């Protein structure tokens, strides 16, 4: 049997708690990158383009580009001979054709457009080059949408 020796203190100190390294702070999640396609500067396409993702064009395209629910960006190296349909269209390169933006159309300082623009919001940056017409008419109201109420004017004669 074990006997307590005289040299040991009567109230032993508890063993020190093991050193626990704190967990590293959780990193913020990686930024969400929207799906987008890129047509590189060495790519040349003749024909129609359609898709369901955003598109960046740095190459050459001849034909028609139709991404009505997505953004289309013509990069500084992009050379387009096509009508372009997109939700938001940004031009940094050169476009020869009509542009149809569902929400917005932007021609950057480095951009050149030879064609007509149809979009409810249009921005031409200082230094951009544009030749054509701009139609900023609002979209027609969907069927069944109520027309805004007009004030009723009543005229009474004496």
pLDDT for the residue 15: 61
pLDDT digits (tens, 9 = 90+) for 106-121: 999 999 999 999 999 9
Q: Specify the higher pLDDT residue, 79 or 139.
A: 79
131-136 long-range Cβ contacts below 8 angstroms, 24+ apart: 132/98
In whole numbers, what is the pLDDT of the chain averaged over residues? 81
| DSSP per-residue string spanning 84-149 | EEEEEEEESSEEES-EEEEEEEEE-TT-EEES-EE-SSEEE-TT-EEES-EE-PPPPPPTTPPPPP
- How does strand 112-114 pair with strand 94-96? parallel
Q: Quick one: tokens of 28?
A: 């913020």
pLDDT for the residue 138: 73
Q: Quick one: tokens of 133?
A: 């017409």
């Amino acid at each position: 049997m074990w006997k307590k020796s005289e040299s040991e203190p009567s109230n032993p100190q508890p063993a020190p708690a093991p050193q626990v390294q704190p967990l590293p702070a959780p990193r913020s999640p990686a930024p969400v990158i929207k799906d987008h396609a890129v047509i590189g500067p060495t790519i040349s396409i003749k024909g129609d383009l359609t898709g369901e993702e955003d598109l960046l064009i740095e190459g050459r395209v001849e034909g028609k580009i139709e991404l009505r629910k997505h953004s289309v960006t013509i990069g500084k190296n992009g050379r387009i001979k096509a009508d372009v349909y997109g939700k938001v269209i940004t031009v940094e390169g050169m476009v020869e054709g009509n542009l149809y933006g569902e929400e917005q159309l932007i021609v950057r300082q480095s951009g050149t457009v030879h064609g007509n623009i149809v979009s409810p919001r249009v921005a031409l940056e200082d230094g951009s080059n544009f030749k054509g017409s701009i139609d900023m008419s609002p979209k027609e109201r969907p069927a069944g949408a109520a027309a805004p109420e007009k004030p009723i004017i009543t005229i009474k004669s004496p």
